[in-house]
Amino acid sequence: MAMQMHHRAEELMAQADALFLRGDGGGASSLLAQAAQCEVDAFFAAPIEKVRTRGILAASAVSLFRQAGMPIQAERVAHRFLAEEGVPDETRAGLEDALNDMRAEQIEQAQGRTLTPDRFEWSLKGNSIGIGTAPMALVSHKIDQIQKYATRVVEYVSGEPLRTQQPLSDRVRDSMSLLMSQPMAGSFRFALRLSVKDEQMQMFDGSKPDGHQVVRDPSEVGTKFFAVLQAVLDDDQTTLEAKVPEADYRETFVHLVRNMIPDGRELASMQVTRLGIDNPSIAELTPKHRAPIDKRIKSLRPTRAKSIAEHELVGLLRAVDLNSRTVKLGPPRHQRVCHAEDDFLMVADVLEGMLDDPVRLTGRPTGGTGFKFSMIVPASRDELEEYQQAHERDGGRLALEAPRSLPSPDQPLMLRSGEDEEAPDD
């Protein structure tokens, strides 16, 4: 009996797909609702010892009610399934996630916003990561880097020109925001979803306000978010150029993804799973990606004359001055000011995402303590310590002092623009 009802649900789903293809969304939703009810009936008809079967039927019923645009019914049956025996733990966790999603959607709707279907679930693993616990400074730093990347994807898909030093436009800021779910058990996991303001949905209607090409479908943001991330991690230049033809945006995305790569000390890996689509996609960010992406960034730099000897400088990034195009390394009493080369693409979000972390600069000494850099990427704490020890042994002038642990939370460092005293140009 249970399998007959399940097969009937499959027939109704196939008919609904055909109606969707013909543009009959209303008829398709009605068939999906009928299919969901068949799955509910099949669940209660299945023997209690058929745990796996009951789990599949429960998850299917909730999903079908949601696809049919019936969240209240989906929420009700999810609670009914959770109260029953013979439901596997993984299904219970999935039902709880679905209920959390539906509650979040209801809250957003009450505020005049809509959640897009894509959900990006991030899982952090490392020596300092426990089951559901992680250092707050580490997690907040990574979330900030993810948000910077996501914001740039939104701007790119929306047809905005690349920002280098300008603040985020009101148009983009008002149109979207990221919503974070509570951490979930098993390593340290959280999910992010895109929230769209209802009155800003005209941003996606295919018109061209203010002369900008705009997104025709909000889900395009999720697609671009994951496709660009995956292309950078795979070092797939062909796909990356196809997804992002504009060279300046492409370089910015490569840098923003590089900022997110774990250094292997506190954080060993970050896995992101894109959910809410037919075929979930998974990408993993690990320290092994550091060298290939650094090589890619180096290839983006203009060719230097062979007579110019380049050096590397490693230190803790303490401040950025966008107006004077400088960065400061090291603690206040031993701070070193480094100037960017004229052709260096100085994007605020890229540099801001590295503040208070070790960085590696590639460039040329310019006399005295002067240094001009054409490349800057995150470095690990181990690299910083090795660099310091080597130059201290050699009596070199490039060694910089830095704390061996994360900066204290009560000593935040903000991105600065023109407020620091400029060092003389070397």
Where along the chain do its domains lie? 1-110, 111-300, 301-394
Question: Could you tell me which of 282, 279, 281, 280 has the C-alpha nearest to residue 270?
Answer: 282
Provide φ and ψ at 295, rounded to 5°: -65, -40
Distances (CA, A) of 325 to 20, 240, 295, 370: 54, 28, 24, 14
Q: Report the helix count and the strand count for the chain, using DSSP H and E.
A: 13, 10
Q: Which residues contact 143 (CB under 8 A, 6 or more apart)?
A: 180, 190
Look at residue 211 and give its three-state secondary structure. Answer: helix
User: Pairing mode, if any, of strands 336-340 and 371-378?
Assistant: parallel
Report how far residue 308's alpha carbon sits from residue 372's, in angstroms, rounded to the nearest whole number: 12
Amino acid at 66: R
Q: Provide the token pair at 420.
A: 């620091």
Q: Provide the token pair at 303.
A: 């060719």
Would you say 154 and 253 are in contact if contact means Cβ atoms under 8 Å apart?
A: no
Question: Could you tell me which of 228, 222, 287, 288 has the C-alpha nearest to residue 256?
Answer: 228
Q: What is the edge-to-edge ordering of all strands in the sheet holding 269-275? A: 176-180, 188-197, 113-125, 269-275, 281-285
Query: What was the pLDDT predicted at 104?
Result: 73
Q: Count the neighbouring beta carbons within 10 Å of the beta carbon of residue 172.
A: 16
Paired with 120 in beta bridges are 192, 274
Q: In this structure, which long-range contacts are made by residues 12-20, counting pairs with CB atoms below 8 Å and at least 24 apart in sequence?
A: 12/38, 13/64
Q: Which residue has the tokens 């054409």?
A: 374
For 22-53, letters b (16+ CB in 10 Å) and e give: eeeeeebbebbbbbbbbbbbbbeebeeeebeb
Radius of gyration of the chain (CA): 25
The number of CA neighbours under 13 Å toward the Cβ of 204 is 18
CA dihedral 338, 342, 346, 351 (to 10 degrees): -20
Look at residue 86 and give its three-state secondary structure. Answer: coil
301-394: which CATH architecture?
Beta Barrel (2.40)
Distances (CA, A) of 16 to 10, 68, 233, 274: 10, 10, 37, 25
Q: Which residue has the tokens 């503040």?
A: 355
pLDDT in tens, the chain (426 residues): 788 999 999 999 999 888 878 888 889 889 999 999 999 999 999 999 999 999 999 999 998 998 888 888 999 999 999 999 889 988 998 898 888 778 777 776 677 666 777 788 899 999 888 777 888 889 899 999 999 999 999 889 888 899 998 888 887 777 777 777 665 555 678 878 777 766 544 554 444 444 444 444 667 888 899 999 999 999 999 999 999 999 999 999 999 999 999 989 889 999 999 876 656 789 999 999 999 999 999 998 888 777 678 899 999 999 999 999 999 998 767 788 999 999 999 999 999 999 999 999 999 988 777 899 999 999 998 999 988 888 776 655 444 433 333 333 333 333 333 333 334 444
Question: Could you tell me which of 108, 95, 23 has the C-alpha nearest to residue 66?
Answer: 95
Would you say 254 and 350 are in contact if contact means Cβ atoms under 8 Å apart?
A: no
Report how far residue 182's alpha carbon sits from residue 361's, in angstroms, rounded to the nearest whole number: 37
pTM greater than the 0.75 cutoff: no
Query: What was the pLDDT predicted at 101?
Result: 77
Question: Could you tell me which of 389, 407, 406 has the C-alpha nearest to residue 398?
Answer: 389
Query: What was the pLDDT predicted at 405?
Result: 37
Q: Provide the token pair at 344.
A: 């260096």
Query: What was the pLDDT predicted at 98?
Result: 82
